[in-house]
Amino acid sequence: MKLTILGCYAATPRTLTNPTSQVLELKNQMFLIDCGEGTQVQLRKHKIKFSRINHIFISHLHGDHFFGLPGLISTFRLLGRKKEMHIYGPKGIKEAITLLLKLGDSWTNYPLYFHELTSKESELVYEDDKVSVKTIPLHHRVYTNGFLFSEKPGERKLDINAVTSYGIDTAYFQNIKNGHDVVLDNGEILENKLLSFDPPKPKSYAFCSDTAHKPDIVPIISGVDVLYHEATFLESQADLAVKTKHSTAREAALIAKEAKVGTLVLGHYSTRYKSISLFKEEAQRIFDKVELADDGKCFEF
Amino acid sequence: MKLTILGCYAATPRTLTNPTSQVLELKNQMFLIDCGEGTQVQLRKHKIKFSRINHIFISHLHGDHFFGLPGLISTFRLLGRKKEMHIYGPKGIKEAITLLLKLGDSWTNYPLYFHELTSKESELVYEDDKVSVKTIPLHHRVYTNGFLFSEKPGERKLDINAVTSYGIDTAYFQNIKNGHDVVLDNGEILENKLLSFDPPKPKSYAFCSDTAHKPDIVPIISGVDVLYHEATFLESQADLAVKTKHSTAREAALIAKEAKVGTLVLGHYSTRYKSISLFKEEAQRIFDKVELADDGKCFEF
């Protein structure tokens, strides 16, 4: 699981900071999450292969999470894309993008599908044989979802020594990988656990931005390996966090602790702070395993 | 007259090149012309005071001239702008921007006026006591206008030696600056040209992008001091220029020559070319005074 932060600062793009966008690589799929202005330049800068992106998830329709999308969609056209592109985001996203394409008489030459979200409950929005994506309803000034990316459990690993010593025919191997026991010709049952190892634990990533402190997301994200949670403010500006429906670093850490996540990654820092290290210090008073997102930073989990 | 090129490359933003946007300073006004994605970052990078921009002119609604506008409008809100902002652009621009603001529940806290253009004839779209702006109808794949910025003639300069030697009362000075003759008490008429100098020649700037070769703009831009004309292709790709309704460097130079402009500034280069110096060479075979726009370049005329 590889996470590349293209941008993780609040509000508007600046010379040295970018608004929210990140790329999650999971089971050879590449998911783009949010798309602030300038995302396509960040993708180029970090040498991410545009063509591998087939699914884009947009948390909400504030400009700093969304205004890079029209340009990215247009660029895919210029690059001669033929593959389907799927966009997941709040209702209204289809109208906005199609209006912009219509005004520029610039329809895509590839199929563009919009999956508009309206539910206030967590729902499954994407699924293939290896990965599923569910929404995480958040609480912000406009309708907002986080996204939970979960690997599905993989096949069990064959214990080659065991199957050889029992003299099991290769015809049974797939069944064993699928978790089934083996019935020998003499009627003896060999339990699966004698013949295979557990698959690696499926990994999971929860993206939660933007949101006020919302403890009722805890059951949805419980036990995820990595939680990216916004921390726009420090506790000293808690009043601003309440007013603007954002979180403080402390609040992000409280969520991480309650949900017993593996690692908390902080981001969406207000640009008022000179150093982001204060966010880590504040969060670590509550929860130990804290990482700071920063533009261009790449995490492997 | 000062022209800052924020971006002058065709198509999409890349790590080192930006789509079209430029700032024209004329008579202490600051006009923003086109607004490709990333314009707000370019404005910051070149330390241009956002707050001095009150009028934004959009040539057409292709993304590389327009997708930076929603973000810029939002940023003005975040910066606490109170002053009016006027946007001039093709019909549809108001619907697009207002939809994006509505979806983000992010109405501006400053008055935002749209001046939507539909005419296929040149028309006056802006005027104050020192400057006027007219459209230059262009020929592109969608409805497109260039813009002609013209200083109005200033007051005549008082010839202090002359008015002193004739003993003319200061009460007459404004009349003289306005071009009137002076009638002395004895009935003698002093012609204005004896008492004043011509004002500096008013300056003018024509922005023409994007457009196919369109010689019928020549009467509109005739004699301008500076013509920015797109040159997306070299003559060797003239077929592509025809197909995409763009111009070659040679065609831009033909327009400059016919219109007897002072200086031709080329821009909107296709990113297929390794060096933009070829554009200058090609244009200079037709017209001598050629400059190459480049991102971040600043011209004073």
Q: Are A59 and A210 in contact (CB under 8 A)?
A: yes
DSSP assignments along chain B, one per residue: -EEEEEE-BSSS--SS---SEEEEEETTEEEEE---TTHHHHHHHTT--GGGEEEEE----SGGGTTTHHHHHHHHHHTT--S-EEEEEETTHHHHHHHHHHHTT---SS-EEEEEE--SS--EEEE-SSEEEEEEE--SSS--EEEEEEEPP-PPEE-HHHHHHTT--GGGHHHHHTT--EE-TTSPEEPHHHHEEPPPPPPEEEEE-S----GGGHHHHTT-SEEEEE--B-GGGHHHHHHHT--BHHHHHHHHHHTT-SEEEEE-B-TT-S-THHHHHHHHTT-S-EEE--TT-EEE-
What topology does CATH give the domain A2-154+200-300?
A: Metallo-beta-lactamase; Chain A (3.60.15)
**Interchain pair A71, B78: CB under 8 A:** no
Alpha-carbon span A27 to B19, nearest angstrom: 35
Which chain A residue's Cα is nearest to B105?
A: A142
Q: Which residues of A touch B44 (CB under 8 A)?
A: 14-15
Whether A94 shows a pLDDT value over 90: the answer reads: yes
Q: How far is A49 from chain B (nearest CA, A)?
A: 14
B42-51 pLDDT, tens digit each? 999 999 998 9
Residues 6+ apart with CB under 8 A from A248: A213, A231, A232, A233, A234, A235, A237, A238, A241, A282
Strand partners, A227: A206, A264
For residues B202-212, give the mean pLDDT: 97
For chains A and B, CB pairs below 8 A equal 108
Residues of A with CB under 8 A from a CB of B: 11-15, 37-38, 40-41, 44-45, 60-64, 66-68, 70-71, 74-75, 78, 90, 92-93, 95-96, 99-100, 103-106, 141-142
pLDDT of residue B232: 98
SS3 for chain A is CEEEEEECECCCCCCCCCCCEEEEEECCEEEEECCCCCHHHHHHHCCCCHHHEEEEECCCCCHHHCCCHHHHHHHHHHCCCCCCEEEEEECCHHHHHHHHHHHCCCCCCCCEEEEEECCCCCCEEEECCCEEEEEEECCCCCCCEEEEEEECCCCCEECHHHHHHCCCCHHHHHHHHCCCCEECCCCCEECHHHHEECCCCCCEEEEECCCCCCHHHHHHHCCCCEEEEECCECHHHHHHHHHHCCCEHHHHHHHHHHCCCCEEEEECECCCCCCCHHHHHHHHCCCCCEEECCCCCEEEC
For residues B209-226, give the mean pLDDT: 98
pLDDT of residue A246: 98
pLDDT band at B199 (very low <50, low <70, confident <90, very high): very high
Count other Cβ atoms within 10 Å, centred on residue A22. 28
Which chain B residue's Cα is nearest to A16?
A: B41
Q: Which residues of A touch B81 (CB under 8 A)?
A: none
Nearest to A44 among B15, B44, B61 (CB): B15
pLDDT of residue B245: 98
For residues A184-211, give the mean pLDDT: 94
Domain boundaries, chain A: 2-154+200-300, 157-197
ipTM above 0.85, yes or no: yes
Whether A238 shows a pLDDT value over 90: the answer reads: yes
B63-93 pLDDT, tens digit each? 999 999 999 999 999 999 999 999 999 999 9
For residues B137-159, give the mean pLDDT: 96
pLDDT of residue A218: 98
Name the binding residues of A.
60, 62, 64-65, 140, 210, 268
Alpha-carbon span B50 to B82, nearest angstrom: 12
Displacement of CA B266 from its chain's centroid (Å): 14
pLDDT of residue A186: 87
Name the average pLDDT for chain B: 96
For residues B126-141, give the mean pLDDT: 97
Whether B222 shows a pLDDT value over 90: the answer reads: yes
Whether B249 shows a pLDDT value over 90: the answer reads: yes
For residues B211-225, give the mean pLDDT: 98
Q: Which residues of B touch A142 (CB under 8 A)?
A: 103-105
Residues 6+ apart with CB under 8 A from A49: A30
For residues B152-168, give the mean pLDDT: 93
**Interchain pair A99, B99: CB under 8 A:** yes
pLDDT of residue A20: 98
**Interchain pair B44, A75: CB under 8 A:** no
A167-196 pLDDT, tens digit each? 999 999 999 999 999 998 888 999 999 999
pLDDT band at A160 (very low <50, low <70, confident <90, very high): very high
pLDDT band at B185 (very low <50, low <70, confident <90, very high): confident
**Interchain pair B63, A70: CB under 8 A:** yes
A130-159 pLDDT, tens digit each? 999 999 999 999 999 999 999 999 899 999
Any idea which of A7-16, A189-198, A263-272 has the lowest mean pLDDT? A7-16
Alpha-carbon span B7 to B45, nearest angstrom: 12
Alpha-carbon span B134 to A163, nearest angstrom: 83
**The two structure tokens encoding residue B141:** 């794949």
Alpha-carbon span A102 to A104, nearest angstrom: 5
Active site members of A: 64
At position B1, the amino acid (one-letter code) is M
Nearest to A38 among B41, B61, B66 (CB): B41
**Interchain pair A41, B38: CB under 8 A:** yes
Is B140 labelled as part of a ligand binding site?
A: yes
Q: Which residues of B touch A70 (CB under 8 A)?
A: 63, 67
For residues B285-296, give the mean pLDDT: 98
**Interchain pair A71, B37: CB under 8 A:** yes
Determine phi and psi for B101, rounding to 5 degrees: -70, -40
Q: Are B227 and B261 in contact (CB under 8 A)?
A: yes
pLDDT of residue B14: 86
Which chain A residue's Cα is nearest to B75?
A: A12
For residues B172-196, give the mean pLDDT: 93
Is B64 labelled as part of a ligand binding site?
A: yes
Q: Which residues of A touch B39 (CB under 8 A)?
A: none
pLDDT of residue A13: 82
**Interchain pair A71, B93: CB under 8 A:** no
Is it true that domain B2-154+200-293 has CATH number 3.60.15.10?
yes
Any idea which of A224-238, A274-288, B166-180 has the lowest mean pLDDT? B166-180
Nearest to A14 among B44, B64, B70 (CB): B44
Whether B186 shows a pLDDT value over 90: the answer reads: no
